[in-house]
């Protein structure tokens, strides 16, 4: 049903996004300051910053006391305290960055093609990693459980596009030897963050070209099949099949068209931001998997995302 309530400016996202982009939040990270000091530090116009800070105070991000401004305890936990259950860091900046991409939708509707992609800046890459962490936080334990159901170590698992490590770490904590393959810039950023003592190997490389050599008992494809189209996915599944042990398991986590309420939005998100990406039905997945030699597919839902699971047929 159309929702007139949703037809408003996403003011909080725009204000908090500007709080990050302008350096305002970072300037307050170490404690309270006068607004004049913050204005000087971040190169802002004082009167504009005053109006901006007032709006953020109204939303509960900052508070004023004795002529100074500071983050509220809630905002501090949310932005800067990774140990807190409320922590999201700058994960929302991924949504903020996507606003401009989504504004191209009317143009994309005419051409059917996303506008040419700009290089992802290191800053945007970090926001993306934060967003992926948030995205996985609630579901990772249940997803890992489903993917390993009925199996026990020793297991070798290939985690394709697993650079953010949100699944690799819980897999490895279950005693699985994990090989993560991701693009070089992500591997470079994340390799130093692999927790010590866990068996996680980071391999840089385009999985549409070749895979880190196996064999593996399990492959995990988390949120990558929406980035690519039918041809790439079908070829990827065939490549995965070649690296699995006989009877090996492929597990796919994504928004499945027709099953997930988020899938239509992800479909449009891919329309404006990718060359061939989209959301795919269970039947499409089953056909690609069958052509790569996999047997029947089982589908389970976790928090509106689906886990598809199939085994190589001998
Ligand atoms: C949407 S994120 C998903 C991350 C993680 N698997 C998860 O579910 O949280 C997609 C990941 O796949 C990686 N990726 C996309 N295309 C790739 C390719 N062709 N080769 C290797 N990695 C790729 C991206 O760098 C990114 O880390």
The whole-model pTM stands at 0.94
| Residues making up the chain, counted from first to last | 314
Amino acid 193: pLDDT: 94
Amino acid 222: pLDDT: 98
Mean pLDDT, contiguous 10-residue spans, the chain (314 residues): 94 98 97 97 98 98 95 98 95 94 97 87 89 90 97 96 97 98 96 96 98 97 98 98 98 98 98 97 98 98 97 92
Q: Which residue ranges have their beta carbon within 6 Å of ligand 1? A: 132, 135-136, 161-164, 166, 181-183, 186, 206-208, 222-224, 227
Topology match between the domains 4-77 and 131-311: no
Helix (H) or strand (E) holding 251: strand 244-254
Q: Which two tokens stand for residue 56?
A: 């953020």
Fold of 131-311: Rossmann fold (3.40.50)
Amino acid 288: pLDDT: 98
Amino acid 10: pLDDT: 96
Q: Give the Å distances, CA to CA, from 84 to 59, 104, 137.
A: 20, 37, 13
Delimit the domains of the chain by residue range: 4-77, 131-311
Helix (H) or strand (E) holding 105: helix 105-111
**Nearest one of 245, 226, 246 to 236, comparing CA atoms:** 226
- CATH number for 4-77 (one of 1.10.10.10, 3.40.50.300, 2.40.37.20, 3.30.750.24): it is 1.10.10.10
Amino acid 268: pLDDT: 98
- Ranges of beta strands (E only) in 62-146 are 62-65, 68-71
Amino acid 104: pLDDT: 96
Amino acid 250: pLDDT: 98
Amino acid 120: pLDDT: 80
Amino acid 138: pLDDT: 86
Amino acid 35: pLDDT: 97
Closest protein CA for atom 7 of ligand 1: 222
For ligand 1, mutation pick of 120, 139, 182, 273 (most atoms within 8 Å of CB): 182
């Amino acid at each position: 049903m159309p929702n007139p309530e949703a037809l408003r400016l996403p003011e909080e996202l725009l204000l908090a996004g500007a709080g990050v982009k302008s350096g305002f939040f970072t300037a307050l990270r170490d404690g309270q300051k006068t607004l004049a000091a913050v204005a000087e530090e971040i190169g802002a116009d004082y009167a504009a910053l005053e109006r901006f800070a007032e709006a953020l105070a109204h939303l509960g991000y900052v508070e004023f006391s004795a002529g100074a401004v500071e983050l509220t305890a809630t905002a501090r936990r949310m932005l800067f305290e990774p140990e807190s259950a409320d922590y999201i860091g700058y994960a929302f900046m991924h949504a903020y960055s996507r606003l401009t991409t989504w504004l191209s939708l009317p143009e994309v509707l005419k051409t059917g093609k996303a506008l040419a992609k700009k290089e992802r800046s290191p800053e945007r890459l970090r926001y993306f990693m934060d967003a992926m962490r948030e995205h996985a936080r609630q579901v990772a334990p249940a997803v890992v459980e489903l993917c390993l159901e009925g199996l026990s170590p020793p297991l070798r698992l290939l985690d394709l596009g697993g650079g953010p490590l949100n699944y690799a770490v819980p897999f490895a904590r279950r005693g699985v030897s994990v090989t993560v393959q991701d693009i070089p810039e992500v591997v470079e950023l994340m390799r130093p963050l692999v927790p010590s003592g866990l068996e996680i190997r980071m391999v840089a490389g385009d999985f549409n070209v070749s895979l880190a050599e196996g064999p593996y008992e399990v492959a995990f494809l988390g949120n990558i099949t929406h980035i690519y189209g039918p041809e790439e996915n079908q070829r990827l599944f065939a490549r995965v099949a070649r690296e699995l042990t006989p009877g090996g398991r492929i597990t796919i986590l994504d928004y499945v068209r027709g099953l997930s309420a988020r899938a239509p939005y992800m479909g449009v998100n891919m329309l404006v931001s990718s060359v061939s990406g989209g959301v795919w039905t269970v039947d499409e997945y089953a056909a690609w998997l069958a052509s790569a030699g996999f047997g029947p597919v089982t589908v389970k839902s976790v928090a509106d995302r689906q886990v598809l699971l199939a085994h190589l047929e001998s």
